[in-house]
Amino acid sequence: MCYIDAMISKNLAIAAALVSVMLLPPACAAQTSDRGAAARRNRVPAAVPAAPPAASNSAQASAPSAPAPSAQPANPSVPGSENPIPHISIATPAPAPTPWTLPERIRWMAEIVVAVFICAGIYLAFLTLRRIERQSHYAETAAQAAADAAKAALVYAEAQAQQANSQAQMDRPWLLVTADPAPGAPDTFNIVLTNRGRSPARIVSLIDEIASAPDDSQLPPTPVFNGEAHAPRAPIILLPGESTGIKSFSRSEVPSVCESPEQLQLVEAWNEKIYLYGIVSYFDMRYPDQEEAHETSWCCWYIHGRQRSGMVMAGPPEYNRHT
């Protein structure tokens, strides 16, 4: 908008300069004519000395001729002159004004017409620029409205995608691991896998490991396994709400886990802990062509007491991960 206002001001200034240039010669001519007339009115005619009265012929005839007296002339510049002639300076008269001819009048009228057309063109250009400015404003408003509508559509699409993803996450199977006491077997615990989702799941691989460490912080940052993941001996399909045991551990297996009696004493004194951890991979039964399987990582701490034992879920976050 500032650019358009500057352009309009520039065009108006140029038009004013053109009109001044076209109207300047007639004005100068009129001013010259007025000055010449004033000079003619103010000019005073030069003084002319009066001639002496002529004597009558009879007087001249009767009067005797007398010799002229010898006297010094009054005006040295004119020898023998008795009546000096005053010195008169005549100023140069003002030049006559140049008449304003018919072609000049026609030219002046043509320049006036051209100036009128130029002013009309500038006015039309100003109106056009104002119209262009309004249309540009309308175009900017429409573009901004279109951008806002596109942004709103994008936000709506993202919300729909998030809702669909959230709905898909809610409808998929979720396998969770818990440590439960084995019924009828004291100091024995089962690692139980339960489908907490809304779709059936098919287990494709299992892997687990037993390790000892003084604390959770002493475990490796990521789970380390000595073997390879293997498929279950029999296909395992868990419907929503169903459970299955994937591993069991009892008190009698503790000496086989400890490498020496000293380590067993450390475990009994709780100076060292026994950890059981593993990973379960499974597919969503709704998508048989699923390329990437979901995983559930789990970790348990076996508490070895002097008389009784226990097992609880423990371990770092990387050992209890769900995808």
Cβ(103)–Cβ(112) below 8 Å: no
For residues 291 and 202, state if they share a domain. yes
Q: Judge whether 198 lies within some domain.
A: yes
Enter the tokens of residue 297. 């990582």
CA distance 246 to 278: 10
Residue 270 sits at the vertex; the CA angle it makes with 267 and 273, to the nearest 5 degrees, is 60
- Residue where a domain terminates, one of 171, 194, 228: 171
Amino acid letter, residue 80: G
For residues 181 and 225, state if they share a domain. yes
For residues 200 and 300, state if they share a domain. yes
Q: Judge whether 219 lies within some domain.
A: yes
Kind plus residue range of the DSSP H or E element containing 282:
strand 273-284
- Residue where a domain terminates, one of 171, 200, 225: 171
Annotate 16-75 with DSSP letters as a single string.
Answer: HHHHHHHHHHHHHHHHHHHHHHHHHHH--PPP-PPPPPPPPHHHHHHSPP-PPP----S-
Residue 242, pLDDT > 90, answer: yes
What's residue 48's pLDDT? 42
Residue 134, pLDDT > 70, answer: yes
For residues 26 and 156, state if they share a domain. yes
Phi, then psi, of 242 in degrees rounded to 5: -85, 155
Q: What is the pLDDT of residues 76-92, one digit of tens each?
A: 444 555 556 666 666 67
CATH no. for residue 227? 2.60.40
Q: What is the pLDDT of residues 4-44, one digit of tens each?
A: 555 556 656 666 665 555 555 554 554 555 555 444 554 44
Nearest residue to 195 (alpha-carbon basis) of 177, 208, 181: 177
Enter the tokens of residue 135. 């249309």
Q: Judge whether 298 lies within some domain.
A: yes
Cβ(304)–Cβ(189) below 8 Å: no
Task: Compare 71 and 197 and report the one with higher pLDDT.
Answer: 197
For residues 14 and 162, state if they share a domain. yes
For residues 274 and 181, state if they share a domain. yes
Q: Judge whether 232 lies within some domain.
A: yes
Enter the tokens of residue 218. 């002493």
CA distance 209 to 227: 9
Q: Judge whether 108 lies within some domain.
A: yes
- Residue where a domain terminates, one of 171, 199, 223: 171
For residues 119 and 184, state if they share a domain. no
CA distance 219 to 210: 11
Range scoring the smallest mean pLDDT among 66-75, 138-147, 160-169: 66-75
CA distance 176 to 191: 10
Which DSSP symbol is given to 260?
S
Contact residues for 132 (Cβ-Cβ < 8 A; gap 6+): 4
Confidence category of residue 209, pLDDT binned at 50, 70, 90: very high
For residues 199 and 156, state if they share a domain. no
Cβ(195)–Cβ(175) below 8 Å: yes
Q: Judge whether 186 lies within some domain.
A: yes
Beta strands in 139-182 (DSSP E): 175-181
Residue 12: domain span: 1-37+97-171
For residues 161 and 183, state if they share a domain. no
Q: Judge whether 50 lies within some domain.
A: no
Enter the tokens of residue 206. 């299992």
Residue 178, pLDDT > 90, answer: yes
For residues 154 and 191, state if they share a domain. no
For residues 226 and 286, state if they share a domain. yes
Residues in a beta bridge with 250? 188
Confidence category of residue 320, pLDDT binned at 50, 70, 90: very high
Q: Judge whether 77 lies within some domain.
A: no
What's residue 216's pLDDT? 86
CA distance 301 to 207: 17
For residues 215 and 274, state if they share a domain. yes
- Please state the domain count of the chain: 2
What's residue 258's pLDDT? 84
pTM of the shown model: 0.52
Average pLDDT estimate for 266-294: 88
CA distance 48 to 34: 30
